[in-house]
Structure 1
C-alpha cells in the first residue's frame, strides 16, 4: 500500500489598513492564487488546492482574510524540499502576516512549518523565514540500562 501524506494549512492576510489598502492586498493575493497552474509537475501545488474567503464577514472574513489549502499525496515528504520551495515562491508574491503548513505522514509523524513576517506584514518580494516543529504520534521508547 502506498504511504499517504496529508498537507494542509492557511495563509493569513493583514488585519489592518484602510478599506482601499485592504482590498488592494486581497485582490493581489487572489490574483496570485488564480495565476497558479491548473495542473502541475510533482510535487503538485496548483490553484485547485487553495480556497480564498470572501471579503465580507458572511463570506468568511470578519477581520483577517484566510487563504486555506489542502491536499493528499503519495509520500510527498520524500520531495518535501521541492514542495517547500514551490510554496515559498507563492508566499514571496503575496501580502500576509503569517502562514502555516501541516504535514502529516504515516512514517515520520506530523510536522508544522510556520512563516511569520519580520515586521508587521510581508510584502511581495521580501525574504522569508520558516520555523519547523515536529511531533510524532506514538509512545516514546526509552532504552534501559542494566
Structure 2
C-alpha cells in the first residue's frame, strides 16, 4: 500500500465593523467554495473537503473560518500542483491569512502560510505570498 498524505488547514476572513460588508464577503466566499468541483474526478481541491460557518452563533463570532481537509496518496510528489490549485482558490476569496498543514509518512509535517500583503485580500487582488516552515514529527529516523 502507498504512503498516505494528510492535508488540512483553514482560511481566515477578517472581522468588519460593518455587518453588511462581512455578510457580503461570507456569501461570496461560500459561493466560491460551492462552485468547486466534486471529488468524482481527479482534482486536488474539491468542494467536499471544505466547510465553513455562515452565521454568527453558528461556529463564527466575527471572523469567517473556512476549514478543509483531505487524504491523498503521496501528494507531496505533486505538491507544486496542489499549491497551484489552492492559490487559484485563494485568488477568488476574501481572506487575510491561510494555513495548510501537510502530514507525510516519510518526511514529517510541513506548514505553509499565506498572508495578505495589505492585511486583507479580495478576489483578483495582489500577488500571493507563501511562507513554508518544516516541522519534523516523523518517528522513522528517531
What is the total number of aligned residue pairs between the two structures?
139
Name the counterpart of 2:90. Answer: 91
Give the structure with higher Rg (CA): 1
Runs of 4+ residues deviating >6 angstroms: none
1:46-65 Cα offsets, whole Å, 9 max, x none, are 000000112212x1001111
- What TM-score, normalized to structure 1? 0.89
Name structure 1 gaps, 5 residues minimum: 142-146
**Normalised by the size of structure 2, how large is the TM-score?**
0.92
- Structure 2: any 5+ residue segments left out of the alignment? none
Distance 2:3 2:27 in 1: 37
1:14-25 equivalences under 5 Å are 14-25=14-25
Q: Give the corresponding residue for 1:3.
A: 3
Residues in 2 aligned to 1:109 and 1:68: alpha-carbon distance in whole angstroms? 21
Equivalent residues in 2 for 1:73-92 (5 A)? Answer: 73-92=72-91
Aligned-pair distance for 1:39? 2.9
Asked if 1:48 is matched to 2:48, the reply is yes
- Equivalence map 1:59-70=2 (5 Å): 59-70=58-69
Instruction: Deviation per CA, 1:9-64: give whole Å up to 9, x if none.
Output: 0001111240111111010000000010113654521000000112212x100111
Tell me if the contact between 1:94 and 1:124 (Cα under 8 Å) persists in the aligned partners.
Answer: yes
